[in-house]
């Protein structure tokens, strides 16, 4: 079995209310629209923060600092009327943020189409995700429909932090609402009605 994971997942763990909180939370945004539709910018901010921790040795140490990072990233991936529902939009936002901040990295994406016959295999999907995690940065995971898995929300972005499996069977872990969420990625690929996609950042090592 193959396993891919971040080298320092603790860089995305904060202490909130005296307890460990994995990842960032869109509900920290002050504006109701941000709270409702801000999963994409929240995910992008977590990815950017991890890259900054790795390359510059700085990272948000508490909820307030994490929110400041989320607010700084918001203009790069501001949701449209129905949210940030295209994989390309987060990829472009991350690329622009990295460029503007002078950070290393190259953003690219892997789309999971609406039509099942057009989707690539679990092995191809896992190869993209595994290569991204092996390059040591979280991936943005866009889940437009959860495929019947109630552990993950539909029409939602999460930072994906680990992958394990082999052949056509793959299990993944993502961060959401302060927790590590495990789910069957292979089953999601088979069953999601609307698809989604992944955004990764490569070449972040200096």
pLDDT digits (tens, 9 = 90+) for 40-79: 999 999 999 999 999 999 999 999 999 999 999 999 999 9
Task: Write phi, then psi, for 155 (nearest 5 degrees).
Answer: 55, 55
pLDDT digits (tens, 9 = 90+) for 107-159: 999 999 999 999 999 999 999 999 999 999 999 999 999 999 999 999 999 99
Query: What integer pLDDT is reported at residue 168 of this predicted model?
Result: 87
- Please give the model's pTM, rounded to 2 decimal places: 0.97
Task: Answer for the pair 198, 87: CB distance below 8 angstroms, yes or no.
Answer: yes
Distance CA 83, CA 100 (A): 24
Residue 206 has pLDDT above 70, yes or no: no
């Amino acid at each position: 079995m193959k396993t891919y994971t971040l080298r320092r997942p603790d860089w995305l763990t904060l202490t909130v209310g005296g307890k460990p909180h994995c990842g960032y939370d869109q509900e920290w945004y002050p504006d109701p629209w941000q709270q409702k539709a801000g999963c994409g910018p929240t995910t992008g901010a977590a990815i950017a923060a991890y890259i900054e921790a790795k390359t510059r040795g700085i990272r948000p140490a508490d909820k307030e600092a994490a929110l400041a990072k989320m607010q700084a990233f918001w203009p790069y991936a501001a949701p449209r009327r129905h949210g940030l529902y295209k994989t390309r939009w987060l990829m472009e936002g991350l690329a622009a943020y990295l460029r503007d901040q002078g950070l290393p990295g190259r953003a690219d994406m892997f789309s999971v189409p609406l039509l099942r016959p057009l989707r690539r295999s679990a092995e191809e999907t896992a190869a993209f995700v595994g290569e991204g995690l092996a390059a040591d940065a979280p991936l943005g995971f866009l889940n437009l429909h959860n495929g019947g898995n109630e552990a993950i929300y539909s029409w939602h972005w999460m930072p994906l932090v680990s992958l394990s499996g082999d052949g056509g069977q793959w299990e993944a872990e993502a961060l959401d609402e302060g927790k590590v969420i495990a789910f069957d990625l292979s089953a999601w690929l088979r069953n999601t009605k609307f698809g989604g996609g992944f955004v990764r950042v490569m070449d972040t090592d200096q």
